Amino acid sequence: MLEGKKIIVGVTGGISAYKTCYVVRGLKKLGADVKVVMTRSATEFVTPLTFSTLSGNEVIVDMFPKTTSEGTNIGTRHIELALWADLMLIAPATANTIAKIAHGIGDNFLTSLVLAIRCPVIIAPAMDVDMYLNEITQRNIKKLKEYGFLIIEPEEGELASGLVGVGRMAEPEKIIEFVCDFLLGFKFDLKGKKILVTAGPTYEPIDPVRFIGNWSTGKMGFAAAKASSQRGADVILISGPTSLETPKNVKRIDVITSDEMFNEVVRFYDEVDVVIMASAVADYSPVQKFERKLKKEDIKGDFVELKLKKTKDILKYLGEHKKGQILVGFALETENAIENAKQKLEQKNLDFIVLNTLGEGSGFGYDTNIVTIISKNGEIFELPKMSKYEVANKILDIVSAKLKNGKK
């Protein structure tokens, strides 16, 4: 199943390092070429010789030899290995190593390798329950997810400390299955294509401290940009205000207002193959922007009247000026959802529209979504609740198929 796949397995200093022996052996049996990298702490649990025997390759622990008598052929091994791999798996990943990766610390060979790696990275956390549930660890894991790392969630059960709770590294069979599913489903079908993605809200200023905005976090658009890049596309991400980190290998342009987003989208439109408009662009903007902060004492009476004007309709403009691009829009409706989405699809000359469901676990702020994708030719794809990254890949599956069928 994994014939020809090149996998780096990183092992850090946790008791579940012994399980990783079975992971390495399993990946080898499936045909993968496996190279193991260990932290110095990991060698306290399993010897490098064990992993070398199981993998059939040299095991790397230190960046530099202890003495020159042990060898000098070091060079830039972490760079060479980073370019070699199709996938990196870190199992177990301790709280310490997760924290280092999340903050860009490369103080050993493994963490330096992660900083240089170009391929996807899968992380299998393993630690005691209180360490795992600590808000710092949870924030670090969340940060890694935003950076594009894939996480194999730990399991609940009896831990090495004797406590019972979440923190056990996933069993070897589950990790191997995760790796296989990812590698076999991982596609480079968008290589050579240029994709423009918009994300986040726009802010329409009232005065220097107030604005009209919406609840969009940008998570869906950032997931689409990340997935597009991982599948080989050259990606431009135009984002409204958001705290999200830029996905790896993605060109990001920050904007604030709807006019700024319009100008940037139009600037790149003619040179792209696909546009995914996942941003929540404001429909209205104040007619007048006050140069100084409006104070209560400046207002007569109890009410403030704010006159609004319509913003430029970016999707409509793109639909009217298409030159072979595939155009994907988004809709969020609270009533007559399918009917309204179809109407928007037709009026704005879209190829696909992604209808968001507003509810528990779906919509603004969530890491998951429940969507229905409607195509120009009437096909409807109803998706169950899944992560926004998974939704992004479902959208790209449909876009990729259309590209193969003769689009630009």
Tell me the pLDDT tens digit for each residue of 194-252. 999 999 999 999 999 999 999 899 999 999 999 999 888 999 999 999 999 898 889 99
Percent composition of the chain: helix, strand, coil (DSSP 3-state, to 5): 35, 25, 40
3-class secondary structure, 241: coil
Residue 230 sits in the same domain as residue 137: no
Asked if residues 28 and 1 have their Cβ atoms less than 8 Å apart, the reply is no
CA distance 211 to 220: 23
Same domain, 243 and 161: no
Tell me whether residue 48 is in a domain.
yes
Q: Do 163 and 246 belong to one domain?
A: no
Which of 134, 157, 185 finishes a domain?
185
Same domain, 48 and 177: yes
Q: Are 380 and 372 in contact (CB under 8 A)?
A: yes
- Whether residue 136 is found in the same domain as residue 284: no
The yes-or-no verdict on residue 43 having pLDDT over 90 is yes
- Into how many domains does the chain fold? 2
Phi/psi at 325 (5° precision):
-70, 150
Of 262 and 187, the one with more pLDDT: 262
The residues annotated with a catalytic role in the active site are: 214
Give pLDDT, residue 200. 96
CA torsion through residues 364, 365, 370, 376, sign: positive
Judgement on whether residues 213 and 362 belong to the same structural domain of the protein: yes
For residue range 124-162, what is the model confidence (pLDDT) as tens digits? 999 999 999 999 999 999 889 878 889 999 999 988 888
Regarding whether 56 and 140 lie in a shared domain, the answer is: yes
First to last CA, the chain: 33
Q: Are 307 and 288 in contact (CB under 8 A)?
A: yes
Taking only the tens place, the pLDDT of each residue in 353-397 is 999 877 666 667 778 889 999 999 989 999 998 888 889 999 999
What's the average model confidence in pLDDT over 75-92?
Answer: 89
Tell which wins on pLDDT, 300 or 319: 319
Helix (H/G/I), strand (E/B), else coil: 400: helix
Q: What percent of the chain has pLDDT over 70?
A: 94
Q: Is residue 140 domain-resident?
A: yes
Is the pLDDT assigned to residue 173 strictly greater than 50?
Answer: yes
Same domain, 149 and 206: no
DSSP reduced 3-state for 348: coil
On whether residue 73 sits in a domain, the answer given is: yes
pTM over 0.95: no
Residue 394 CB contacts under 8 Å (≥ 6 apart), including other chains: 373, 381, 383, 386
Q: Is residue 281 part of a domain?
A: yes
Give the per-residue pLDDT at 67. 57
Asked if residues 291 and 206 have their Cβ atoms less than 8 Å apart, the reply is no
pLDDT for the residue 408:
45
**Residue 143, domain member (yes or no):** yes
CATH number, domain with residue 233: 3.40.50.10300
Using the 3D structure, point to which of 130, 162, 185 is the last residue of a domain. Answer: 185
CA dist 210 to 204, 257, 289, 300, Å?
A: 9, 13, 10, 19
pLDDT-based confidence at residue 108 (cuts at 50, 70, 90): very high
Q: Confirm whether 1 is domain-assigned.
A: no
Binding residues: 283, 293, 330, 344, 348
Q: Is residue 166 predicted with pLDDT exceeding 90?
A: yes
Q: Which residues pair with 359 in a beta bridge?
A: 362
Residue 179 is part of a domain; what is its CATH number? 3.40.50.1950
Q: Which residues are annotated as a binding site for CTP?
A: 283, 293, 330, 344, 348
Q: Is the peptide bond before 154 cis (omega within 30 degrees of 0)?
A: no
What residues make up the domain containing 239? 194-404
The reply to whether 114 and 210 lie within a common domain is no
Q: How far apart are CA 137 and CA 54, in angstroms?
A: 31
In a domain, 389, yes or no: yes
Residues with Cβ within 8 Å of 131's Cβ and at least 6 positions away in sequence, in order, are 95, 137, 167
Residue 154 is assigned to a structural domain of this protein: yes
List Cα–Cα distances, 71 to 10, 51, 75, 76, 108, in angstroms: 23, 21, 11, 14, 18
Question: Are 161 and 201 members of one domain?
Answer: no
135, 158, 185 - which closes a domain: 185
Same-domain pairing of 208 and 155: no
Residue 363 confidence (pLDDT)? 66
- Can you read off the two tokens belonging to residue 63? 């960046």
Query: What's the chain's average pLDDT?
Result: 91
**How far out from the chain centre does Cα 19 lie?**
28
Note the pLDDT of residue 304: 81
Higher-pLDDT residue of 273, 295: 273
Residues 206 and 331 in one domain: yes
The Cα 226–Cα 131 span in angstroms is 29
pLDDT tens-digit series, residues 326-360: 999 999 877 788 999 999 999 999 999 999 877 66
- H or E segment at 212? strand 210-212
pLDDT of 69 strictly over 60: no
